[in-house]
């Protein structure tokens, strides 16, 4: 490698390393950066000055001014500027669109939610709904489109590396992802579109039940199963974005379909009521099958109702099959039950854990509940947008040096 290519590469490496440290740190000095990154003092100071010139750092009052330094030259102190730009996370679900505007560290500034008719999921209507929701959220945050540096969208469809979904036999995937990567190209210099379960995996890795875990599956488990697969420290997608696609469960004994835990609970409970096989002391036996929902079944199970616990054991057997399949295919250490149903899923998880050791030869994955709740896809969308902003910050015109603006 000659000097003309080596110097820019080394410079970029130094900028990336220092920015990476600054993004996660509180106020810091050049010595702090040197200890974490391993650059010389002169290079560190030069890089810090450039990042400040790009608007990504701000120089703080020096250490003497804040009482941390008494002798010698006071150390210059810097801090990352999370307000230097905006990221946007969009959960474009089957029956809703939720948008969150956040700063560069992912701290939410405003959120808006729009309910959409799932029976009228025309591609144009979905695009307009997503745009309107983002626009409303920007207005709530009192910010403008020009402040956005990265935007991420989660959709209930496979998504490839380019942000596009493959053709589906009834057009469902194309309707769920009607070219969002193009829709928002004029809104943000970086647009990342992902499968919703993949964003659940991003959320779990960032701040959920998979922090520090490199091999896990985030299982959106409400109405239908959706799986975000994280192996060897990275998100798996596949050639068409279909890694973890759950149509395969149609052919798995004991699972039978991609139906999620909620309808399985209701179906099993209704079948037990109709067959008259529930214990006479079970409150579930007296429930109205027509109005029965999964929350009622799981609340009763959590309270120790014998009939509801029997239902949980039945559904837990199916969850064990799902976890066993992912454990066998991907050798993950953890399967995380994610989404709104996670908060009440402990009786099902306990039953699945009891059944799982018989399911596979590899060490069984742990099955745990997510702490992130119903907003997990939105949380993941914001985290993915932050990741995208971090990866591309030095290439964005918003963070160019003053003399480079307009040439990016």
Q: Are residues 334 and 253 in the same domain?
A: yes
Rg, the chain, Cα only:
25
Domain boundary among 80, 107, 129: 80
CB 190 within 8 A of CB 390: no
| 41 within domain boundaries | yes
> What is residue 9's predicted lDDT score, i.e. its pLDDT?
87
Domain boundary among 60, 80, 100: 80
| 395 within domain boundaries | yes
- Give how far Cα 94 sits from Cα of 35, 229, 345, 359, Å: 48, 21, 23, 33
Alpha helix segments (H runs only) across 100-258 = 123-141, 172-176, 180-183, 196-207
Q: Are residues 315 and 276 in the same domain?
A: yes
Q: Are residues 234 and 195 in the same domain?
A: no
Q: Are residues 131 and 233 in the same domain?
A: no
Q: Are residues 353 and 385 in the same domain?
A: no
| 404 within domain boundaries | no
> What is residue 65's predicted lDDT score, i.e. its pLDDT?
53
> What is residue 358's predicted lDDT score, i.e. its pLDDT?
63
What CATH number should be reported for the domain holding residue 63? 1.10.10.10
Q: Are residues 181 and 319 in the same domain?
A: no
Q: Tell me, what DSSP letter sits at residue 243?
A: T
Encoding tokens for residue 140? 């709530």
Q: Are residues 145 and 199 in the same domain?
A: yes
Max Cα–Cα distance, the chain, nearest Å: 84
Q: Are residues 347 and 226 in the same domain?
A: yes
Encoding tokens for residue 352? 């699945």
Residue 278 CA to its chain's centroid (Å) = 40
Encoding tokens for residue 28? 């810091």
| 405 within domain boundaries | no
Q: What are the beta bridge partners of residue 45?
A: none
Task: Give me the residue label for tokens 């991907």.
Answer: 330
| 406 within domain boundaries | no
What CATH number should be reported for the domain holding residue 262? 3.30.420.40
Q: Are residues 222 and 195 in the same domain?
A: no
| 278 within domain boundaries | yes
> What is residue 63's predicted lDDT score, i.e. its pLDDT?
56
> What is residue 407's predicted lDDT score, i.e. its pLDDT?
52
Q: What are the beta bridge partners of residue 110?
A: 101
Domain boundary among 80, 111, 137: 80
Count of domains observed in the chain: 3
Q: Tell me, what DSSP letter sits at residue 170?
A: T
Q: Which of 147, 217, 97, 179 is nearest to 398 (CA)?
A: 147
Q: Are residues 352 and 340 in the same domain?
A: yes
| 408 within domain boundaries | no
pTM of the model: 0.92
Print pLDDT tens along the chain (408 aa): 333 344 568 999 999 999 999 999 999 999 999 999 999 999 999 999 999 999 999 999 865 555 555 555 678 899 999 999 999 999 999 999 999 999 999 999 999 999 998 888 789 999 999 999 999 999 999 999 999 999 999 999 999 999 999 998 888 999 999 999 999 999 999 999 999 999 999 999 999 999 999 999 999 999 999 999 999 999 999 999 999 999 889 988 889 999 999 999 999 999 999 999 999 999 999 999 999 999 999 999 999 999 999 999 999 999 999 999 999 999 999 999 999 999 999 999 999 999 986 656 889 999 999 999 999 999 999 999 999 999 999 999 999 998 765 554
Q: Are residues 173 and 224 in the same domain?
A: no
| 380 within domain boundaries | yes
For residue 20, the enclosing domain spans 3-80
Q: Are residues 221 and 337 in the same domain?
A: yes
């Amino acid at each position: 490698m000659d000097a003309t290519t080596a110097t820019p590469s080394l410079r970029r490496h130094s900028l990336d390393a220092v920015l990476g440290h600054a993004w996660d740190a509180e106020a810091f000095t050049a010595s702090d950066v040197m200890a974490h990154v391993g650059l010389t003092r002169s290079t560190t100071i030069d890089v810090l000055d450039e990042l400040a010139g790009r608007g990504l750092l701000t120089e703080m009052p020096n250490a003497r001014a804040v009482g941390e330094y008494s002798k010698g030259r006071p150390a210059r102190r810097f801090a990352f500027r999370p307000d230097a730009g905006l990221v946007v996370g969009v959960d474009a679900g089957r029956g809703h669109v939720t948008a969150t505007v956040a700063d560069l560290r992912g701290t939410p500034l405003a959120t808006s939610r729009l309910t959409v008719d799932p029976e009228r999921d025309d591609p144009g209507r979905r695009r307009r709904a997503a745009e309107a929701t983002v626009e409303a959220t920007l207005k709530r945050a009192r910010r403008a489109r020009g402040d956005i540096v990265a935007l991420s969208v989660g959709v209930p469809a496979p998504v490839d590396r380019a942000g596009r979904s493959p053709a589906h036999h009834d057009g469902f995937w194309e309707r769920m992802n009607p070219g969002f990567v193009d829709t928002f190209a004029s809104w943000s210099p970086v647009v990342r579109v992902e499968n919703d379960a993949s964003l659940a995996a991003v959320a779990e890795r960032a701040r959920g039940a998979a922090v520090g875990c490199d091999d896990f599956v985030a299982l959106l488990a409400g109405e239908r199963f959706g799986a975000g697969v994280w192996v060897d420290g990275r998100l798996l997608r596949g050639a068409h974005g279909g890694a973890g696609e759950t149509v395969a469960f149609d052919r798995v004994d004991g699972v039978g379909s991609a139906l999620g835990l909620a309808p399985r609970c209701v179906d099993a409970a209704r079948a037990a009521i109709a067959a008259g096989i529930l214990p006479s002391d079970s409150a579930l036996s007296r429930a109205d099958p027509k109005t029965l929902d999964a929350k009622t079944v799981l609340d009763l199970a959590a309270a120790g109702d014998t009939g509801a616990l029997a239902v949980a054991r039945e559904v837990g057997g199916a969850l064990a099959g799902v976890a066993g399949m992912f454990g066998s295919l991907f050798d993950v250490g953890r399967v995380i039950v994610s989404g709104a149903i996670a908060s009440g899923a402990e009786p099902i998880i306990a039953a699945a854990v009891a059944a799982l050791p018989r399911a596979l030869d590899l060490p069984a994955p742990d099955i745990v509940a997510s702490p992130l709740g119903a907003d997990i896809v939105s949380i993941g969308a914001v985290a993915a947008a932050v990741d995208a902003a971090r990866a591309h910050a030095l290439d964005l015109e918003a963070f160019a040096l003053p003399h480079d603006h307009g040439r990016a």
